[in-house]
A and B are shown apart, each in its own frame.
Chain A
């Protein structure tokens, strides 16, 4: 009975808190006045508007100031081109941050090489509206781009590793093998002899 009482008590507390939250978030609560901003996706650049050239640093550090403005952003196409119906998400990397760019599928297909371990991706320039917390995309910081152009095609990444690492690997492996065998021999001998600890892993 006591257990049931306790279980009931915490459930009541949690439900009350949740109800309070719902009421507060509901039609009569202070959040009611917060409405999603209407938006036409992929709107063309309005006449007379010159997009601001921005860096990734600007977009993150000066997000409030740039929110809602037309911007031009250039960087490396990274990772995956995620097609979602007639739209596509592409993450474009700058010097410090990668920025999510939503664009029409027709623009996205211009990207041929995506950045990864083997390749530096295409350098792309996008034109679009910057959103500090895009209400249509769950609050993501993004650029909704109307167009994309490939400024420079991607290329293979050079590997900075020296070739002589193979010799180091071979030498160290031989030493490890020798110690592995020695440890096994010692264990066998001690198991047959005075009963040293020989219980594990070697």
Chain B
């Protein structure tokens, strides 16, 4: 029997959603201050409106939702995570919509979800004339999304949130770096802010060296770092990283988006001196192997299609796009249409596979995740060993994931289940793409990019695509980033509200 949600459930969900929306409102201070600093007065007014709406909604929810108990159940935690991302999408879209750079509110919402989920696909119009304030908001959104909105709230707004771990898990993070989840959230932010300082400086210096003016070099440095570290793939100019025409600039982005795609636990382990984790961790190993092998596939594909005239060019374009796709970043150093028109099928197959595999768990990356690829591979090895071993033998498979862990059937089943859900979603996105009139090859590529929260595009994503496809992609980005469970919990919660007793 399905239990109909009680009033207390709504209170708890409303309360924590209110806190998270307030957190989002506070985040609007960054673009507001940017707009003021650059004397973009009209943009600043838009952010005051949006910030006020966020607080009205946030504090309104806090006023009407006053739960009697502190702690959250698993369902409540999951629903808070998924629901707050939806409400956050609507609130975050306000400054976009007010900027006149979007054809519809749906397009603005699409770009917010794309930022939150660190996907990086965009429907914005005339990006090259966007204000610094709006550009700051675009990149703050993706930076926040990379760490997680719940993580943000846990870090700055929740001092003693009992049951907060359930919200944290709802946002597809399940590794505690420290025993206390609030301390874990703060550690995630500490790691990210440390990289932010170093990354902005480095990327800004490279910007200076390639001929940009100092203020623009460091602003672009900040934004490109935010988008790279979050594996988001946004950029302040419409040509993405191609705008800079610099191998050095691209190389520095690789450093940070690869780092961003690694598990926060791995960063923490290295920070506390466990450096051998870097070479033994199952996800690091998985990434090293798959990126090497898929790199060979992409290079072979490009060589076969004769897309590039020399080896250096082929390696620069091929590997950059592959690693950008594999880490689910989506920085693009070629035009999307070039992918569709000039890259052969084999190279695209390599990139599609890399995009689906994705980065690490508990990172800013999307996709299946290296942990699941590693677990499934280990399970396969274990099965083969079982077949070859004497019947009485107990075959134990272990893997390194911050500590040595014994492979269990439950973990493998969960990994397979999530991978199957990702594949089903990829199929659904492809089908809707084809129904919307795009060729299968292009729909397959774009759907893989959305499924893995990547952001590479072969030209399908544009403001001209049908609303059905935009809505499908929004749902896919959201479900993919949440790794399905909290979205399913929200759907179950709604179902229980309708049919429960």
Contact = CB atoms under 8 A, between A and B. Distances in A.
Interface of A: 2-3, 6-7, 10-11, 13-14, 17-18, 20-21, 24-25, 30-31, 34-37, 60-61, 63-64, 78-84, 88-89, 91, 93, 97-98, 100, 102, 115-117, 120, 132-133, 135, 137-142, 157, 159-161, 165-166, 168-169, 172-173, 175-176, 179-180, 182-183, 186, 190, 196-197, 199-202
B59 A31 contact: no
A7 to B, nearest CB: 5
Given A84-B211, A89-B211, A186-B63, A79 B237 contact: yes
Contacts of B280: 3, 6-7
Contacts of B295: 21
A11 B299 CA distance: 21
Interface of B: 15, 18-19, 22-23, 40, 42, 45-46, 48-49, 51-53, 55-56, 58-60, 62-63, 66-70, 98, 100, 128-132, 153, 157-161, 210-213, 216, 237-239, 242-245, 247, 279-280, 285, 288-289, 292-293, 295-296, 299-300, 303, 307-317, 333-335, 337-338, 341-342, 398, 400, 404
A201 B212 contact: no
Given A82-B210, A166-B45, A140 B59 contact: no
A86 B23 CA distance: 49
Given A91-B237, A172-B52, A172-B56, A202 B18 contact: yes
A117 B40 contact: yes
Given A197-B69, A199-B160, A176 B128 contact: no
A11 B276 CA distance: 13
13 contacts: A3-B280, A61-B341, A64-B342, A97-B238, A98-B239, A117-B130, A132-B342, A135-B308, A139-B317, A140-B333, A172-B49, A179-B60, A200-B159
Given A91-B237, A100-B242, A139-B314, A176 B335 contact: no
Contact of A88 (B161, B211, B308, B310): B211
A81 B309 contact: no
A36 B310 contact: yes
Given A63-B341, A138-B317, A196-B66, A84 B247 contact: no
Contacts of B68: 196-197
Contact of B42 (A6, A64, A165): A165
Given A31-B311, A161-B42, A100 B239 contact: yes
A79 B66 CA distance: 50
A141 B338 contact: yes
B90 to A, nearest CB: 16
B460 to A, nearest CB: 15
Contact of A200 (B132, B158, B211, B244): B158
B19 A91 contact: no
A61 B337 contact: yes
A138 B313 contact: yes
A79 B212 CA distance: 9
A102 B70 CA distance: 62
B289 A201 contact: no
B12 to A, nearest CB: 8
A173 B59 CA distance: 12
Contacts of B337: 60-61
Nearest to A13: B289
Given A79-B128, A200-B19, A20 B211 contact: no
Nearest to B127: A98
B22 A202 contact: yes
Contacts of A159: 42
Contacts of A10: 285, 288-289
Nearest to B129: A117
A15 to B, nearest CB: 9
Given A36-B309, A161-B98, A182-B59, 13 more contacts: A10-B289, A17-B289, A34-B314, A63-B341, A100-B243, A116-B128, A133-B342, A139-B317, A139-B334, A140-B245, A173-B52, A183-B63, A202-B19
B404 A3 contact: yes
Given A7-B280, A197-B15, A179 B59 contact: yes
